[in-house]
Amino acid sequence: MSVWNDFYRLSVLEIKFEKNSAAKNATIYGNGNNQVAVAVRVTVIGKDNKPLNIPYDELEDKTHLINYQTGEKLNWRGTQPSYNPPWIYSAVDKGYSDPVNFGSALNDPQHDIKNNPQPPTKDNSSNVIFYISASKLSSGLDIGVGINIPGVGEFNTTEYGTSTHNSPGGNGGSVFKAPSFVHVRALESIDYSLSKNVRLDNNTTSFQSFHTVVGDMLVIHNNWAGITYNNYEGTSSKATAVISPAQENFKFIKMNVLSPTVGAGFNLAGGGCDTVWGVGGGNYDATFIFVNRKEYGLLGDNSIHTRCGGENYYYTIGKNDSRHYWKEDLPDGVITVRICNHRTPRNDAYQQNWSDSGKDIRVHVTDEYGNSGTVSITVDDSSWPSLHVNA
């Protein structure tokens, strides 16, 4: 037997923000992910003059969000693209349901109506939660609610209501008028693939940007006559750069490095790095870049081979030398780029038996409001050791 068979009259139909019932407006990002939750409150009086206890799924099925001005239904789950674009609503929380701000007041204590739909709330109303999103920038929309009661007809919270009579079978009695709406506007989404939307801090600009780890590393020198020399002149150093949203106080909550792990031929902490890069000139710098890796650096038993003027130079890390790798926690909300550099002070040296790889790193990011994009981190010899972000 349907609960609606006991319908006598609709007493309450209203919409409020679920986390801030005192607010009348909210701002979200128009990226299709950011949502704001609204609570639809319904009280239906039964034939025994007591409120009906309406099952949650039944109430969800019979209620819908509308354009407050026109009464037209909003797009449900993105299935009706011609309805009130760009607004969409759903019963599913995508995980980005905190708006940028509300128009007033402190948040009400949070509650979970859906998981505890029965019994009705203290005022004997039944409630359902919907999540509103927008697919693009919008100056805003006044959003009301409607309910289609089987055997009776359609009611809504527009200013003038509907012509449905508020009585069993819709026969006789007065019409229902109870204006109620919330206003939601959508900001332009943030694309983190664009340089203007990210900030790079602590970018390396010269050798002085690095912190020296060891200043007298062993460089084995084999000259043209086959004579071997041990020179303690190599420098091991490191630096850390940070990439974050340009918008103050925003943070990345998802960061997925899309580029493959590289570093074949070297014994690297954490199983690899994201860039291997060698640059010659007045010195020879072999650079290893680690993106969002808790373990980074060179493990023991490594040799970085270079050649200069027909002679070989081997920058060497001994088997038991643990000074060049680290295991550290990552800071929250940012892309952490750790750079390990190994310098052999020889003019015009070039790499031997290894090559550059991974000089274009891609990281797909998403912030707490569902804005996303792919951040690129690239390097080139002409600007060593500076990183280029979204260049």
Number of neighbours of residue 232 by Cβ within 10 angstroms: 10
Query: 103, 23 in Cβ contact below 8 A?
Result: yes
The whole-number pLDDT of residue 317 equals: 96
With 50 as the cut, is the pLDDT of residue 292 above it? yes
One-letter identity of residue 266? F
Contacting residues for 121 by C-beta, under 8 A, at least 6 apart: 41, 127
Residue with tokens 């200043």: 215
With 50 as the cut, is the pLDDT of residue 336 above it? yes
Of 95-99, 102-106, 115-119, the one with minimum mean pLDDT is: 115-119
With 70 as the cut, is the pLDDT of residue 220 above it? yes
Which DSSP state fits 59? H
Query: 145, 129 in Cβ contact below 8 A?
Result: no
Q: Let me know how many helices (H) and strands (E) the chain has, helices first.
A: 1, 26
pLDDT digits (tens, 9 = 90+) for 42-94: 999 999 999 999 999 999 999 999 999 999 999 998 777 666 789 999 999 99
pLDDT digits (tens, 9 = 90+) for 121-132: 445 789 999 999
The whole-number pLDDT of residue 123 equals: 59
The whole-number pLDDT of residue 222 equals: 93
pLDDT digits (tens, 9 = 90+) for 130-157: 999 999 999 999 999 999 999 999 999 9
| 219 CB-contact burial (10 Å; exposed 0-12 / middle 13-18 / buried 19+) | buried
The whole-number pLDDT of residue 225 equals: 82
The whole-number pLDDT of residue 1 equals: 75
Write the DSSP assignment of 79-125 as a string of letters: --TTSSTTEEEES---S----SEESSSPPPPP--TTTS--S--TTS-
241 bridge partner residues: 337
The whole-number pLDDT of residue 111 equals: 31
With 80 as the cut, is the pLDDT of residue 364 above it? yes
Which of residues 283 and 173 earns the better pLDDT score? Answer: 283
The whole-number pLDDT of residue 80 equals: 73
The whole-number pLDDT of residue 17 equals: 97
In this prediction, residue 304 has a pLDDT band, given cuts at 50, 70 and 90, of: very high
254 vs 153: CA distance, rounded Å = 46
In this prediction, residue 110 has a pLDDT band, given cuts at 50, 70 and 90, of: very low
Rg of the chain over all Cα atoms, to the nearest angstrom: 32
**Tokens matching residue 102:** 């509300």
Beta sheet of 75-76, edge-to-edge order: 7-17, 36-46, 126-134, 87-90, 75-76
**pTM value?**
0.89
With 80 as the cut, is the pLDDT of residue 195 above it? yes
> 256-290 burial, b if ≥16 CB within 10 A, otherwise e?
ebebeebbeebebbbebbbbbbbbbeebbbbbbbb
Of 69-83, 143-157, 190-204, 281-295, the one with minimum mean pLDDT is: 69-83
Residue with tokens 């009705």: 120
With 70 as the cut, is the pLDDT of residue 114 above it? no
The whole-number pLDDT of residue 82 equals: 67
